[in-house]
Amino acid sequence: VEVLDDELTLRDFFLDGSTPIDKLIRETHVKGLHVLPSNIRLAPVVQSLYMRPRREEMLRRGLASVRQHYSYVFIDCPPALGVLTETSLSAADLVIVPCQMEARAVDGLVDLLEMVSLIRGPSFDAWRILLTAWIRGRPSRTMRSWPSSSPELIGF
For the chain, domain boundaries: 1-68, 94-156
Percentage, residues of the chain above pLDDT 90: 47
Radius of gyration of the chain (CA): 18
* pLDDT higher than 80, residue 144: no
Mean pLDDT throughout 66-75? 93
Distance CA 38, CA 3 (A): 8
| pLDDT value for 145 | 57
Stated pTM of the model: 0.78
d(CA 103, CA 141): 9
CA–CA dist 38, 14 (Å, integer): 11
Range of weakest confidence among 9-23, 33-47, 106-120, 123-137:
123-137
Average model confidence (pLDDT) across the chain? 84
